[in-house]
Amino acid sequence: MKFCANCAAPVVRRVPPGDSLPRHVCDQCGEIHYQNPRLVVGCIPEQDGRLLLCRRAIEPRYGYWTLPAGFMENGETTRQGALRETLEEAGARVELGEAFSMISVPRVNQVHLFFLSRVADMAVKPGEETLEIRLFEENEIPWKEIAFRTVAMTLRHWFADRSAGRHAFHVEDIAA
């Protein structure tokens, strides 16, 4: 960041009074510009034991498979964001369940939050960011073609929990 979003004056990076971390500070208007992690929200859409995955039509990881997910928008809840992303990417309406996994990825300043869900409307169709969608049995998951580590971790937890007969909430960090 070079200029203040409030007054367009140049900003400096320093620790403001009462803070403990360097921030972009505008000496002209006093605005402190906080840059915080972005939240990625999504669903694990299930129907009859199969999971709905989307093949990406955008970078990063064009052509790879993922769960329907994306960046949360201002003014929406995590649940609303997960529902919106699932509808946008897969054209699927789902019944949202509990939060299932939360994975911090500090290297890219993101936190990924996935919710359990059941496909309510099978009139699914790929969205603009999706090449194709498909329901997968566990033995059909294209593990080497999964787009992101957070998605692979979430899928592994989902299948392990299903085998155990219960779903728990999983919290992890990807350090590097």
Tens of pLDDT along 34-88? 999 999 999 999 999 999 999 999 999 999 999 999 999 999 999 999 999 999 9
**For residue 60, cis peptide bond before it (omega within 30 degrees of 0):** yes
Tens of pLDDT along 106-139? 999 999 999 999 999 877 678 899 999 999 999 9
Hey, what domains does the chain have and what are their CATH numbers?
A: 1-35 (2.20.70.10), 38-173 (3.90.79.10)
Q: Which of 155, 160, 123 is nearest to 141 (CA)?
A: 155
pTM to 2 decimals? Answer: 0.90
